Structure 1
Amino acid sequence: MREPSDRADVVVVGAGMAGLSAAHRLTSAGLRVRVLEAAPEVGGRMSTELLDGFRLDRLGQLLCASYPELHRNPALAELMLRPFAPGVLLHSGGRHHRAGDFAGVRGGRGALSTARALAPRVPRPRLPGAAFSPAGGPLGQARLGAALARLAATGVPELLARPEAPAAEALRARGLPPKTIEGFVRPLLAALLGDPDLGTSSRAADLALYAFARGPLCLPEGGAAELPRLLAAALPPGTVRTSVRVTSVSADRVGTAEHGRLRCRGVLVATGARSAAALLPGLRTPGFHPLTVVHHTADTAPPTGPALLLDADRRGPVAHTAVVSEVDPSRAPAGRPLISSTVLGTPPDRTSKDLDAAVRRHLALLYGTSTARWELLAVHHTPDAVPAMPPPHDLRRAVRLLAGLYVCGDHRDTGTVQGALHSGRRAARAILGDLGVQPVAAEEPMPAIA
């Protein structure tokens, strides 16, 4: 790495979503970039385990088709998003209730018509005894639909200008009925932000609901690892180096355990928050929402179709679950359903066997079917899954520490894929400005999403 051919203008530490997004913009501007990743593969938390023909996401993070960065980055032009059934499916009082699918909220064309981004609109599953109304009754449904319509029509600057408070407090102040908050908004934000207590900043919660109102929830075809794979593949050959541990950083050099020091004109630390703080003493480390993803297969798929199923009553460990193979058939062998379920927080059941038993009992209640013969495929626990965003929360934390030294990641923006990608773009813009380099072409505007 100390040969002249390996000299770089910018070294990016970390090949997660933020680092790869920044590297793509820097190389597009003509800079020589090296991305150093300690793990054997790129992606960070956006990883997918391959097991006997199944594709098992480690984090199970949901995407919204309306995330601007999914459309702005040319490297993601080939990304295929597979949408869930419209809205979400709530389990409450022993029944299934459809919520969040309101005609006119997303508009006529919506995100489903954006080039190659999405498969055709999927049908609603028909469930025995299902009542297709959100918690809170007709009045709650009307208020919820009006609130989502207002959000979809509001600009992001206006959302960020609202007074900040914990999400639960802000929602009550806006007049949403308690049943609607508890029966729909709380489980939805728990699925999007990993925060079932609604202690998240109201601004971050508003952005999550805004994205939900403007485009359907989706999964990337082939697994979460498809996003970093596409970003890495779009970089010049040799840009990304895996299995390289960075031990120190400064404004003009990077120290590595395996290859000594590498000189450069700027360093961008794009690791997770804890690793970034280890390299940059004094950097604030946020709290985190841990989560566990439990993957099962069965002889037959539960009858919910491609719906995201949320537990509105919170009667067990599972916050949300889905027959993922109904959403994205590429994630499972033919004839074998893949059911992926997310447990928020640190599970009280320490062993995979105990956790599996508790999850099976809850899934039997949620799906209304026996889970006794379901097969456990994997249990993935991530302690630092989603950065916590309690108020006051700076949604645009500084990415420039000093000239030549930068930091980015979802912990500097919002704790979502959109936040990670946007943070990387902000860091790249700061680096280009400090180096006096102009982008080769102006950024493509976000496509109109009604």
Structure 2
Amino acid sequence: ACALELQKNKIDFHIFEASDGVGGRVRSDIIDGFILDRGFQLYNPSYTEGQRLLDYQALDLKPFTPGVAIRDGKRLRIVVDPFRSKDFRYRLLKDLPGSIFSQLGLLSYFLKYLITADAQISVSADISAQQSLTKSGIKGSLLEKLFRPFLQGVFLESELNTSRKFLDTVLKTFLRGIPSLPAQGMQQISNQLASKIPSENISLNTKVLRIEGNKLITTDGEIETKKIVVATDPSTAISWLNLEVKKMSSVTTWYFKADPKVNSIVKSKPLLFVDGKKSGPLTNAVVLTNAAPSYAPTGQVLVAASAISPNENAELIEVKKHLAVLFGVPTDKWELIKKYEIKEALPAMNPPYSLINSNQISNDLFVAGDHRATSSIQGALISGTNAATLVKVSLGL
């Protein structure tokens, strides 16, 4: 995003990428015909910066069902947005957990943020997500069986200590768009952005070791430049630039070649499964091929299962046992394709939090990344654009 903005303003630039491909944390691998994103992730087409920079038609976005399947002991609750999903909406009244008072609180909460301007989110006092929900009347089983299991997969933390500002931003985003997968994997988002940049402007497998003034010390030598934008992982940016240290959340995703019987429970609909009883290590699980059949060879079924701290190191036998509980089918013959351990998946966003943080370190040094905005693809894109704009200003253009 930063490079595209520089290119638009006719500012010469060069990207030095330490790995063998662009994308950072938004990467995918292909193993035996299965598309495996590096950690389960989705893209929301309501992201305004994504709408500006990406060609959605070319991405061929495959939407999930806007809702969640909650394993509640032997019972499976299916809660969907009744206005955007014909599937299962007849079950909403009997499957939505919580008292009538909590449910009214939920209705009030969503109505409030449907009419709240985006700018108002930033100026209101900040508290934790859990405090915001309980203050609105969302408590008891509605909180513990629906909101906490779902949101911990979004925030990658189970205490819901994440900023209320980010919670509100996330919920408004979900109301405006349906989380989706590009037909050929999340990597296509990164590839599409990179395809707009001349290949000679990108050096792969070139690690920047350190910055010395206006000089980059790389594995391929030294490069002098007028301006530098540090668009690395948060930990590297923090150590190079002496930024405020942020806690990073980790997540582990297991990908399985599954038995097609798993589809029978939700009529092959792409629903996210969570556990309202916390009966195992998994945070969530989903049949990816119900949304995007292209993620697997014809006729094959791909399941993603994810766990956050303190369960990210769960044993395979525990994971498969929990999957059997969630989906209600035997999983002992499911084949593990690959396990991804993402140690620094998302920067924490604890209150008080600013949704936009400075992208300028000095007149010649800038920083970009989701840690400067919101922990999302939208945040990363906005941050990159903002950094490029500041570079332009510093050049007097």
Give the TM-score normalised by structure 1.
Answer: 0.82
Q: For 1:379-419, what per-residue CA distance to the aligned partner results, in whole angstroms no more than 9, with x for missing partners?
A: 10111111111112222111100111001111111111111
Equivalent residue, structure 2, for 1:268 = 229
Structure-2 change in CA distance of 1:348 and 1:38 (3 Å): closer
Equivalent residue, structure 1, for 2:87 = 124
Among 331, 339, 346, the residue aligned to 2:303: 339
Task: Give the partner amino acid of 2:232.
Answer: T
SS of the aligned residue for 1:204 comes to: helix
Tell me if structure 2 keeps the 8 A contact 1:318–1:362.
yes
Tell me if structure 2 keeps the 8 A contact 1:49–1:56.
yes
> Is the aligned partner of 1:90 residue 2:87?
no
The whole-number CA distance in structure 2 between the counterparts of 1:77 and 1:27 is: 23
Moved over 6 A (4+): none
Q: 1:204, CA displacement in angstroms?
A: 1.2
Tell me if structure 1 keeps the 8 A contact 2:250–2:312.
no
Structural mapping, 1:206-355, within 5 Å: 206-250=168-212, 252-258=214-220, 260-280=221-241, 282-302=242-262, 303=264, 304=266, 305-347=269-311, 349=313, 355=315
Task: Give the partner amino acid of 2:53.
Answer: N
Q: For 1:47-71, what per-residue CA distance to the aligned partner results, in whole angstroms no more than 9, with x for missing partners?
A: 1121000011112122222221210
Q: 1:377, CA displacement in angstroms?
A: 0.7
Equivalent residue, structure 1, for 2:380 = 420
SS of the aligned residue for 2:305 comes to: strand
Unmatched 5+ residue regions in structure 2?
Answer: none
Equivalent residue, structure 2, for 1:59 = 39
Equivalent residue, structure 1, for 2:330 = 370
Equivalent residue, structure 2, for 1:114 = none
Tell me if structure 2 keeps the 8 A contact 1:86–1:124.
no
SS of the aligned residue for 2:350 comes to: coil
Q: For 1:67-115, what per-residue CA distance to the aligned partner results, in whole angstroms no more than 9, with x for missing partners?
A: 2121021566633321111222222232222225142xx7xxxxxxxxx
* RMSD across aligned positions (CA): 2.2
Unmatched 5+ residue regions in structure 1?
Answer: 1-20, 107-121, 438-450
The whole-number CA distance in structure 2 between the counterparts of 1:216 and 1:401 is: 36
Tell me if structure 2 keeps the 8 A contact 1:76–1:231.
no
SS of the aligned residue for 1:406 comes to: strand
Task: Give the partner amino acid of 1:208.
Answer: V
Structure-2 change in CA distance of 1:126 and 1:49 (3 Å): farther
> Is the aligned partner of 1:172 residue 2:134?
yes
Equivalent residue, structure 1, for 2:351 = 391
Q: For 1:299-342, what per-residue CA distance to the aligned partner results, in whole angstroms no more than 9, with x for missing partners?
A: 31413321111222221111111100111111100111000011
Structural mapping, 1:12-91, within 5 Å: 21-74=1-54, 78-91=58-71
SS of the aligned residue for 1:33 comes to: coil
Give the TM-score normalised by structure 2.
Answer: 0.93
Tell me if structure 1 keeps the 8 A contact 2:106–2:137.
no
Task: Give the partner amino acid of 1:365.
Answer: V
Task: Give the partner amino acid of 1:51.
Answer: I
Q: 1:261, CA displacement in angstroms?
A: 1.8
Tell me if structure 2 keeps the 8 A contact 1:270–1:408.
yes
Structure-2 change in CA distance of 1:146 and 1:300 (3 Å): same
Q: 1:364, CA displacement in angstroms?
A: 0.5
In the comparison of the two structures, how many residue pairs are matched?
Answer: 393
Task: Give the partner amino acid of 2:339.
Answer: V
SS of the aligned residue for 1:175 comes to: coil
> Is the aligned partner of 1:200 residue 2:162?
yes
Q: For 1:232-257, what per-residue CA distance to the aligned partner results, in whole angstroms no more than 9, with x for missing partners?
A: 11112311110001122255332212
